[in-house]
Structure 1
């Protein structure tokens, strides 16, 4: 799933390509992806693109007085085209193509695609980004200057005994951090993903620094990387996430995994849990 650093990189790539251009049309191929009907998608045609922004993991393209908002979900992606799109093939909605933005003149633009059979990519056409429920619920952006250690400490204290991994991923508490970067942040902070969110001032300071350092480093790595290479770049920069069975780059211990119904987390026992592996419910069931 694209998280804050990847969406930030998409914004940086799209701004010089889109701002000031006239939008010819947005063609919605997967109708389940479109979550609004008023204003209609056709209202974007012939309007000028004024801005490209990010709200957490949401991509926001300002077209005329409207906003085309996208959430790429788990398996969605954005692919830039330098020329006109190819003719559609197959039954609408049966392939990976969800929507297509076409600019006036040369026909360039981008395609929104989604792999797999579970379709979660979403599009909205709204007058104000706050009309998108997910944006309206967003917590503060961790890279905003106002996101101080004091603000972070208040978020953790309010979460109480909730597991810190879940608090970092909760978009209503902190915007933009997902499964991958929460794993990375906790590894840098040397904390168990199951640790209660309410913690000592010293632990809070260490976790705050891990949030800032991990995300800012990832943003710098992703900046200037073409959209087609962002997934590869993200994976290459991971220390523990997605590296089950590999050696920890800090201590050399084997990276372990805890699997849930629809996701998994990775961690280093030596660095994060005092050398003790966490219980993996899926593995436990298999061993019975």
Structure 2
């Protein structure tokens, strides 16, 4: 799933190609992709794109004096740019194509989604906040206003584990499964540690790890074409997706805890005092 750094890079990639261009057609292909009906998608046609912005993990194509096309790529969605789209309109079917945006001149992009679970979502709205997921977003962790004290306030009273809090989009926008693992590894904290239990020093460490990890990832991703972002993300991860490999910091073996539909990775030496974490269903360390 693309997270804040990749979505930020995609916003830049699309912004360079869409800004100042006119939308000719917007064609939904998958039945499940469009989540709104007012304004209609046709309201985007003939409009000039003025910007492409990011809200958490949502992308927002802004048009002049018109609606916004907002979309969330979910777990298996992606953006595919084409300098020359096929002249014939796409036909609905079982393929990965979900929605096509064609610009005047013939270029444009497709939203695609692999797999059978169709969660990619597109919205045509007057304002991004009309999208429920955007309206619920917590603060952006890379915004200037996101200070150490803001993070401390968000964690205060949270009786949930750090892993879950970092992934909660209503608490902090844009962090998902991969970068929550990376942030906790950099902060040398257990993913099962209770958020409200952090000391002042631990809060300082988490804040520094969060900002540095995300900024570094954005820096690595910026400037890459859309098709190269997935490989760039994977190459920069130190523990996530690296079960069984050596931790690049201490050399211990990276371990995994499996969930029903995902997993987390961590280093016992760096994060849990050398103790392997129990199965997530036990919600505690092995004694």
Report TM bin, short chain.
over 0.9
Deviations 1:227-282 (A, max 9, x none): 00000000000000000010100011110000000010000001000000011258
Deviations 1:75-125 (A, max 9, x none): 000011011236467x614110000110012x1111100010001000000
1:32 alignment partner, SS class? coil
For residues 139 and 149 of structure 1, the distance between their equivalents in structure 2, rounded to whole angstroms, comes to 15
For residues 14 and 43 of structure 2, the distance between their equivalents in structure 1, rounded to whole angstroms, comes to 21
For residues 215 and 87 of structure 1, the distance between their equivalents in structure 2, rounded to whole angstroms, comes to 41
Structure 1 gaps, min length 5: 284-288
Structure-2 residue corresponding to 1:181: 179
> Which of 163, 166, 190 is the aligned partner of 2:164?
166
- How far is 1:31 from its partner? 1.9
Structure 2 gaps, min length 5: 283-287
1:210-229 equivalences under 5 Å are 210-229=209-228
Is 1:263 aligned to 2:262, yes or no? yes
- How far is 1:50 from its partner? 1.0
How many aligned positions are there? 280
Structure-2 residue corresponding to 1:98: 98
For residues 166 and 280 of structure 2, the distance between their equivalents in structure 1, rounded to whole angstroms, comes to 22
What TM-score do you get using the length of structure 1 for normalisation? 0.95
Structure-1 residue corresponding to 2:72: 71
Deviations 1:149-208 (A, max 9, x none): 00000001131x210110000000000000000000000000000000011000000000
1:94-173 equivalences under 5 Å are 94-105=94-105, 107-159=106-158, 161-173=159-171
The change in CA–CA distance for 1:35 and 1:268 in structure 2 (over 3 A counts) is: same
Q: What RMSD, in angstroms, separates the aligned Cα atoms of the two structures?
A: 1.4
Is 1:55 aligned to 2:37, yes or no? no
Deviations 1:37-74 (A, max 9, x none): 11111111111111110000000001232100000000
1:172-251 equivalences under 5 Å are 172-198=170-196, 199-251=198-250
For residues 97 and 24 of structure 2, the distance between their equivalents in structure 1, rounded to whole angstroms, comes to 18
For residues 275 and 86 of structure 2, the distance between their equivalents in structure 1, rounded to whole angstroms, comes to 53
User: In the alignment, is the contact (CA less than 8 A) between 1:257 and 1:280 conserved in 2?
Assistant: no
Which stretch shows the higher mean deviation, 213-222 or 75-84? 75-84
